[in-house]
Structure 1
């Protein structure tokens, strides 16, 4: 497998140096990782943009790879990278792509289209990887997920659910975890004569899902994430949506969708106890990521990162946009307030300056009021320290701090709390960055309070900029 030559001319963190098989080694450590920080960070990322005549046309479609950093001691970190073994990857090695992908043309014969009107969805799980009990699951935004061995990064096979939900139901790559009840909660999209969004839950590691609630839909929104409290799930139906019938055609997935701002945004609030739902309207916006959702008195608060429109996914993340460098991921931290008895949500921007890939003290604050949010400032707003780095936002004070990545493009920060800590920001942030010019990458640990570096582990491989991952503490 060769690198992404058609992107290497641009100084972007997208071209991978992966050639074949797993690579591993010991990183060069500077500084000292905290004594209490032991464990493995596993991430998935779009990595290979072309292979044997096949080319990805969109960031979301590049063939996935997995990589991990294991913090073994305060000054020893091992690393590993391995290509995701998917059906899409194997087809690409033959120069074929007969799968429904996000922004890359489907190569299907007319006969195949007649026999199979709805194309098989991609299993290129390059969006997120989460720990589900003893299982690790690599996810994309289709009905197909992959089970992963976190120690070797080997692909074990497809995740098969044993319940009555349709096998073709798309699932988001951002499940929530209700720690108090020990259940994973997610949203599925069912396309058919009765299209609907489905909220479901299951015990982590158990592949039998229970339906919590259903919301019938005439047009289906692009659902990337959702909000969750102890009592409600909040589905964000922004006006970037699709007629289910159009999905019968073999277009690129994103080309089915239309931006209809005159329709506004609809927030579907699903009661987790009864399954009943109510709908509240809001101004038009495009949302990839929710930050947190919680009750404040009688009000329901949904904090999101909101774009004005979906151009970031329709245009900036296409190959033509990536050649210009890292796309400007600058949505605004926005609060949606749903008041009892009102049909329209209040909208408030919480802080100046955009960022993406939000992180909170999830185990403690998810579904509860939070004060701090961390994220990656991809192409930071004027006034930041410069570079592509990490931000910390104090929601209560409306203040923002920044750490510049310098020549490194730093991705999603993951908050790891200090054992025994009582403060919301008592812990470290783990982020992975790449410097393509220097052909290197690093894992950096930042103090979550000051966002100053504590330690970093550098490897001689320019890992591609990815989306999401998970950290699991070591058992020993």
Structure 2
């Protein structure tokens, strides 16, 4: 049960859009930090007198902090998707979201089967494809925005025809092979997972393989090693025929999925060179939203993720999060799964006693390789039943934990930015957008990646609602048309 309500501000709407050419800075920003941090997340939780039901439903807003010569600027803009425009024009919720469905008659529900409308309210993450900056989510809809002004430019399409209405908001970038790996889920009479690669600078995806699946799973992220792609299929499953019946009943998207722990968790392993599924490896039921990293150790695949014993979608209904007396929030374990390719044995161990979510590593140096440090958010012992309220750096080799904690503050996903020409894995800085429940605003926190000591912070004049993910890009500055 959560005992503090300082975090409730992070669940309230931010309407204001502003541009601030220079923020005040407490501390000193490294001069080598020249680029922009983009953040994505829900910012509007109601339209007219209608409320969204889930944290994943809120209308998307983009935020950008730009660093140049020790100074920082800020701007934010709503993502003006078709969903956003329709809703605001009508003054009510007009498009179904992840856990919110609009009121229709039975005949309107029948009609909706013939004209399937998937929301383009892309509030999960940021991606860069061939120079295009995109707001992305778990649907195949992609929305392009201007990286300087944050203005919405419109729909972005790949120049291919790989099917699938669903995807993940966590495409994996292989810096050595210069390619992006992701997959789509095509839910139909003959459902498939369609795994593809996209070479840097291109907009045409290449299908690696399609895997038939009777009951597609809800999958938010996956793992990548040098030679393998690993799809973790958690037993939160849907049946295509059930989708139709639920659609007729006016049920929202996530209500089509059922938790079936008896089906177990399955790791689908695809050989990247042979472009084929080489095996399905089963273990006890679990659930995860975010992977940490994966790499190979002889005949084993090592896969680290933030795992829960059951699915946690229900934790993030706003009715639960806003209930300060009875709110329940599941705790994610930092688990290491070992998948033995020849024997098909799967087992796991805890990498830390600390609960960890929104994990980040030095991906440019350690993606798909052995690594030592993981950063994330967790729960401070001072208020362990609170919302995510501390930042963690975990040394998984030496079992050393460093943390940042400030009473009444709620940090978001930490983004690691390596220092140019750095040699050490943790040589760089960590950026985290923090909700200050004491001052009713937010600030960007900058920590030293090695010592995990605060070196600077810069405040914005308003609160920023809890977001999900973001990306840092080197060399994106404000310019004359901003």
Normalised by the length of structure 2, the TM-score is: 0.91
1:17 maps to what in 2?
Answer: 14
Report the Cα offset of residue 18 of structure 1.
1.7
CA distance in 2, matches of 1:463, 1:106: 27
1:333 maps to what in 2?
Answer: 334
What stretches of structure 2 of length at least 5 have no aligned partner?
478-482
Matched, 1:217 2:213: yes
Choose the corresponding residue for 1:87, options 82, 92, 96: 82
| Inter-CA distance 353–31: structure 2 relative to 1 (3 Å threshold) | same
2:98–2:252 CA contact under 8 A, matched in 1: yes
| Inter-CA distance 383–89: structure 2 relative to 1 (3 Å threshold) | closer
1:37 maps to what in 2?
Answer: 33
Report the Cα offset of residue 324 of structure 1.
3.0
Matched, 1:227 2:223: yes
Q: Which fold has the larger relative contact order, with Cα–Cα distance below 8 Å and residues 6 or more apart in sequence?
A: 2
CA distance in 2, matches of 1:329, 1:382: 17
What stretches of structure 1 of length at least 5 have no aligned partner?
1-7
CA distance in 2, matches of 1:95, 1:437: 33
Secondary structure, in 3 states, of the residue corresponding to 1:91? helix
1:96–1:107 CA contact under 8 A, matched in 2: no
Matched, 1:449 2:450: yes
Counterparts of 1:117-196 in structure 2, within 5 Å, are 117=113, 119-166=116-163, 168-196=164-192
Q: How many residues align?
A: 462
2:31–2:68 CA contact under 8 A, matched in 1: no
1:4 maps to what in 2?
Answer: none
2:147–2:476 CA contact under 8 A, matched in 1: no
CA distance in 1, matches of 2:104, 2:86: 12
Secondary structure, in 3 states, of the residue corresponding to 1:105? coil
1:252 maps to what in 2?
Answer: 252
| Inter-CA distance 40–110: structure 2 relative to 1 (3 Å threshold) | same
Secondary structure, in 3 states, of the residue corresponding to 1:351? strand
Counterparts of 1:356-395 in structure 2, within 5 Å, are 356-377=357-378, 379-381=379-381, 388-395=389-396
Deviates more, 1:367-376 or 1:387-396: 387-396
Report the Cα offset of residue 164 of structure 1.
2.0
CA distance in 2, matches of 1:472, 1:254: 33
Matched, 1:270 2:270: yes
CA distance in 2, matches of 1:125, 1:22: 20
Post-superposition Cα deviations, 1:214-241, rounded to whole Å, max 9, x if no partner, equal: 2211111101000011211100111111
CA distance in 2, matches of 1:154, 1:363: 29
Report the Cα offset of residue 342 of structure 1.
2.0
Report the Cα offset of residue 322 of structure 1.
1.6
